[in-house]
Structure 1
Amino acid sequence: MKRILRLMMLSAGSYRRQYARCLLSSLFASLAQAAAYTTLVPLLYELSRPEVDEAAAWGWVAVFTACWAIETALRLYELRFQYGHWADVLADVRLRLGERLRTMPQQELERRATGDLTTVVGGNAANATMGISTIGLLFLQLVTVPAVLGVVILALDWRLGLVLAVSTPFAVFFVRRMQRLSGSGFRRVDAADARAADRIVEYVQGLPVLKATGQVGHASQRLTEALEDQGRVMTKIQQGLTRPGALAAGTVQICLVAMAAVGAALVLDLRMSAPLLFAVTAGAVRFAEPLATAASMTSLFELTDAAMERVGEVLDSRPLPAGDPDARIERFDLAFEDVTFRYGDDGPPVLAGLTFTAPQRSLTALVGPSGSGKTTVTRLLTRYADPAHGTVRIGGKDLRDLDPAEIYRHVSVVFQDVYLFDDTIRANIAMARPDATGEEIESAARAANVHTFVSRLPHGYDTRVGEIGARLSGGERQRISIARAILKDAPIVLLDEPTAALDTESEVAVQQAVDALVADKTVLVIAHRLSTVAGADQILVLEDGRITEHGTHTALLEADGRYAAMWSAQTRARHWRVP
Structure 2
Amino acid sequence: MIGTLLGLVPARFAPLTPKLLAAIVAQSLSQAAAYLLLVPTLEAVFDDDLERAWIWALCMLAAVVAFAIFGYLQASIGLRIAVGMQRGLQTRIGDHLNALPLGWFETRSSGRLSRIAVENVREIQGAVAYLVAKVFGGIVVPLGVALGMLLIDWRIALAMLLSAPVLFAINGVAGRAYQRADAHAHEAAAEADARVVEFAQAQSVLRAFGAVGAGNKALDSALHRQRAAIARQVFTSVPGLIVFALFVQAVFLVLAYIVVARVTDGAISVAAAIALIAVSSRFIEPLNLAAQLGNGLRAAATAVERVSALLDEPTLPEATVPVTPGAPTVVFDGVSFGYRPGEPVLTDITFSVPAGTTTAIVGPSGAGKTTLLRLAARFYDVDSGRVAVGEHDVREQPSETLLDQLSLVFQNVYLFDRSVAENIRIGKPDASEEQLWRAATAARVDEIVERLPDGMDTAVGEGGAALSGGERQRVSIARALLKDAPIVLLDEATSALDPHSEAVVVRGVHELTRGKTVIVVAHRLATIAHADQILFVDGGTIVERGTHEELLALAGRYADFWNERSRAAGWRLEPAAV
Q: Distance in 2 between matches of 1:366 and 1:488?
A: 24
Matches within 5 A, 1:300-339: 300-339=296-335
Cα distance, 1:10 vs. partner?
A: 1.4
Q: Please tell me whether the aligned partners of residues 497 and 527 of structure 1 are also in contact (alpha carbons under 8 angstroms).
A: yes
2:568 pairs with one of 547, 568, 573:
573
List per-residue Cα deviations over 1:335-380 (Å, max 9, x = no partner).
Answer: 111111111224x100011111111111001000011100111111
Matches within 5 A, 1:329-478: 329-346=325-342, 348-478=343-473
- 1:222 maps to 218
Q: Please tell me whether the aligned partners of residues 11 and 311 of structure 1 are also in contact (alpha carbons under 8 angstroms).
A: no
Q: Distance in 1 between matches of 2:63 and 2:154?
A: 26
Cα distance, 1:436 vs. partner?
A: 0.9
Q: Determine helix, strand or coil for the equivalent of 2:39.
A: helix
Give the partner amino acid of 1:34.
A
1:6 pairs with one of 4, 7, 12:
4
RMSD of aligned alpha carbons:
1.6
Q: Relative to structure 1, is the Cα distance of residues 187 and 438 closer, same or farther in structure 2, using a 3 angstrom cutoff?
A: same
Q: Relative to structure 1, is the Cα distance of residues 136 and 166 closer, same or farther in structure 2, using a 3 angstrom cutoff?
A: closer
Q: Distance in 2 between matches of 1:119 and 1:26?
A: 30
Cα distance, 1:124 vs. partner?
A: 0.9
Q: Bigger shift: 273-282 or 544-553? A: 273-282
- 1:561 maps to 556
Corresponding position: 1:203 with 2:199: yes
Which blocks of at least 5 consecutive residues in structure 2 are unaligned? none
Q: Distance in 2 between matches of 1:31 and 1:110?
A: 52
Q: Please tell me whether the aligned partners of residues 178 and 241 of structure 1 are also in contact (alpha carbons under 8 angstroms).
A: yes
- 1:21 maps to 19
Q: Determine helix, strand or coil for the equivalent of 2:106.
A: helix
Cα distance, 1:72 vs. partner?
A: 2.2
Corresponding position: 1:252 with 2:248: yes
Give the partner amino acid of 1:523.
V
Q: Distance in 1 between matches of 2:226 and 2:410?
A: 36
Corresponding position: 1:107 with 2:103: yes
Cα distance, 1:85 vs. partner?
A: 4.8
Give the partner amino acid of 1:25.
A
Give the partner amino acid of 2:553.
E
Cα distance, 1:474 vs. partner?
A: 1.1
List per-residue Cα deviations over 1:265-324 (Å, max 9, x = no partner).
Answer: 332233332222222211111110011112212221111111122122222332211113
- 1:116 maps to 112
- 1:182 maps to 178
Q: Distance in 1 between matches of 2:266 and 2:23?
A: 44
Q: Bigger shift: 378-387 or 165-174? A: 165-174
Give the partner amino acid of 1:438.
E
Q: Determine helix, strand or coil for the equivalent of 1:328.
A: coil
List per-residue Cα deviations over 1:472-497 (Å, max 9, x = no partner).
Answer: 11111101110000000011111111
Cα distance, 1:325 vs. partner?
A: 4.3
Q: Relative to structure 1, is the Cα distance of residues 575 and 317 closer, same or farther in structure 2, using a 3 angstrom cutoff?
A: closer
Identical columns (%): 36
List per-residue Cα deviations over 1:81-128 (Å, max 9, x = no partner).
Answer: 233453332112111111111111212233221100111111111111
Cα distance, 1:74 vs. partner?
A: 2.1
- 2:50 maps to 54
Q: Please tell me whether the aligned partners of residues 214 and 220 of structure 2 are also in contact (alpha carbons under 8 angstroms).
A: yes
Corresponding position: 1:499 with 2:494: yes
Give the partner amino acid of 2:142.
P
Q: Please tell me whether the aligned partners of residues 492 and 521 of structure 1 are also in contact (alpha carbons under 8 angstroms).
A: yes
Q: Relative to structure 1, is the Cα distance of residues 391 and 491 closer, same or farther in structure 2, using a 3 angstrom cutoff?
A: same
Q: Relative to structure 1, is the Cα distance of residues 11 and 195 closer, same or farther in structure 2, using a 3 angstrom cutoff?
A: farther
Cα distance, 1:213 vs. partner?
A: 1.2
Q: Distance in 1 between matches of 2:433 and 2:332?
A: 39
Give the partner amino acid of 2:34.
A
Cα distance, 1:12 vs. partner?
A: 4.0
Q: Relative to structure 1, is the Cα distance of residues 458 and 158 closer, same or farther in structure 2, using a 3 angstrom cutoff?
A: closer
Matches within 5 A, 1:159-170: 159-170=155-166
- 2:33 maps to 35
Cα distance, 1:13 vs. partner?
A: 4.4
1:512 pairs with one of 491, 507, 513:
507
Cα distance, 1:165 vs. partner?
A: 3.8
- 1:125 maps to 121
After TM superposition, the score normalised by the length of structure 1 is 0.96
Q: Distance in 2 between matches of 1:13 and 1:129?
A: 16
List per-residue Cα deviations over 1:120-167 (Å, max 9, x = no partner).
Answer: 111111111111222112211111101111122244222223333444
Q: Determine helix, strand or coil for the equivalent of 1:16.
A: coil
Q: Relative to structure 1, is the Cα distance of residues 270 and 30 closer, same or farther in structure 2, using a 3 angstrom cutoff?
A: closer
Q: Distance in 2 between matches of 1:87 and 1:263?
A: 46
Give the partner amino acid of 2:254.
A
2:479 pairs with one of 472, 478, 484:
484
Q: Distance in 1 between matches of 2:305 and 2:12?
A: 18
Give the partner amino acid of 1:409.
D
Q: Distance in 2 between matches of 1:275 and 1:71?
A: 25
Q: Distance in 1 between matches of 2:527 and 2:122?
A: 51
Q: Determine helix, strand or coil for the equivalent of 1:297.
A: helix
Give the partner amino acid of 2:556.
G
Which blocks of at least 5 consecutive residues in structure 1 are unaligned? none
Q: Please tell me whether the aligned partners of residues 8 and 89 of structure 2 are also in contact (alpha carbons under 8 angstroms).
A: no
List per-residue Cα deviations over 1:367-401 (Å, max 9, x = no partner).
Answer: 00011100111111111111111111112211111
Q: Distance in 2 between matches of 1:4 and 1:382?
A: 40
